[in-house]
Amino acid sequence: MRLFICLILIYSAPIFSQDDLLADSLSEEIEASDFSLIDKLSDEEDQSQKLAIREQYYSEREKPWSPVPFRALILKGTRLIDLKTEKVYFTSSDIYAYAQEETRGSQLSYILTKDKIAKYKTFTKNLRSIETDVTLYPKVNPNNVYISQEKHQTIDPSLKIETHLTFHAEAISNSYFADIYGGTETLSTANRFQSKTYYNSLLPVDFGLSLSFQTGLWNEADNPVSWKSGSFGPSLRWRFGKWGKLKMNTKVGVERSFNFKAVRGDTINEFSSLSYDIELEASYDSPIGPILFGWGFRRMTWQLETSQFSSNFKDDKQELTSTSLFLGYRLDFEI
C-alpha cells in the first residue's frame, strides 16, 4: 500500500508543477495589462445613460435668467394682479399685449406696457403667443403711399333717370289780353301738365329737360278767350334737404313755346312765349311711390305773332307773372 501511494505522488508531481507555472504566468500578464481605457469607456457609458434620463424627464432651458418679451393674446377672464397695488382685475374680452415670462418656461408671466415695463402678472397658461402669426403679416410700411395701378376696371353703363309728372293750377296776372282784345279783366286761370326728366347723378344739382302743355281762359264777361300752348326747355334741380321719407327740391328752368294759339269765337291769334320758372317741391316716399307737391312761380313774356283782326293795343309784347300749386308723381328707371 505504501508503495502504491508513493508511485502516485511520483507521477503527479510534474502536473502540479505545471499548474503552478501557468497560474504564475497569468498573474504576471494581468498585472502587466492596462484597464484604464475600459474604465474610461465605462464612465462615459454611465454619463450617457444619465444624460438620456435627464433629457427624457427634464427639458433644457436656454438662459432662464434672461427671458425675451413676446406679443401675446390675453384670454378673456384672465386674472391680472397689479404689481404696485396688488389689486386683482379680470379681463372682459381677449386683449393683445406684450408679455414676458418670469424665467424661461416659468408658470408666471408679466404683462408689459407699451414701454416694455412690467405692469401686471398672471399665469403663463392664460397667454397665447402670436409671434408666429405676426410673422405672416405682409411687410408693408403704413406710412408709405402706394399708387394703385389697376389693370382692370368696370364701368356701369346704366343711366338713372327720374321723370316728374305734375299737374299745375295757375293764376296769371294777364292785363295783356285786356289790351289786345279790349276788356277790363286782368286775371286768367290755366291748367298746365308738365313733364320734367332729370339725370340722377351724384352731384347735388341735376340737369334735365322740361315739356309743358297749358290750357287757359281769360274770362272776360262778353268776350272770353281760351288758349292752348306747348313749350319746351332745359331745367335744373337742386336737392337741398331730406327728412326721413320727405325730400326737398328746388327747380329752375326756361321754356320756349313751340305752339301758342288763342281763340275768341271764330278768331284765332298766334302768340309766342318765353318763360322763366322756379319751383319749391317736396317729394314724399309713399307706399304707392314718390308723391310730388309744391308751389311754383313763373315770369313770362308773351308776344303776338299773327292776328286775324286789327286792334289798338299798346304793345305786341308784354311780361306776365303767374303762381301755381301742383301735385304729381315721380317715375324712376334706368337705361
Clarify whether residues 193 and 302 are in a common domain: yes
Nearest to 300 by CA among 237, 198, 220, 214: 214
Clarify whether residues 183 and 309 are in a common domain: yes
* pLDDT over 90 percentage in the chain: 41
Q: Does residue 235 register a pLDDT over 80?
A: yes
Going by pLDDT thresholds of 50, 70 and 90, the confidence category of residue 68 is confident
Going by pLDDT thresholds of 50, 70 and 90, the confidence category of residue 61 is very low
CA end-to-end distance (rounded Å), the chain? 148
Clarify whether residues 263 and 321 are in a common domain: yes
Clarify whether residues 316 and 233 are in a common domain: yes
In a domain, 20, yes or no: no
CATH of the domain at 91: 2.30.30
Question: Domain range for residue 113?
Answer: 70-134
Clarify whether residues 256 and 220 are in a common domain: yes
Q: What are phi and psi of 307, to 5 degrees?
A: -140, 145
Q: What is the mean pLDDT of residues 209-221?
A: 91
**Residue 13: per-residue pLDDT:** 47
For residues 290 and 329, is the Cβ–Cβ distance under 8 A?
A: yes
In a domain, 129, yes or no: yes
Clarify whether residues 168 and 234 are in a common domain: yes
**Residue 329: per-residue pLDDT:** 95
Q: What is the mean pLDDT of residues 66-83?
A: 88
In a domain, 204, yes or no: yes
Greatest mean pLDDT among 24-28, 60-64, 302-306 lies in: 302-306
- Cα 163 to its chain centre, rounded Å, is 31
Tens of pLDDT, residues 147-162: 776 666 666 667 889 9
pTM of the model: 0.52
Clarify whether residues 108 and 188 are in a common domain: no
Clarify whether residues 194 and 87 are in a common domain: no
- Number of domains comprising the chain: 2
Chosen domain end from 116, 134, 152: 134
CATH of the domain at 261: 2.40.160.20
Tens of pLDDT, residues 78-134: 999 999 998 999 999 998 999 999 888 888 899 998 888 899 999 999 999 888 887
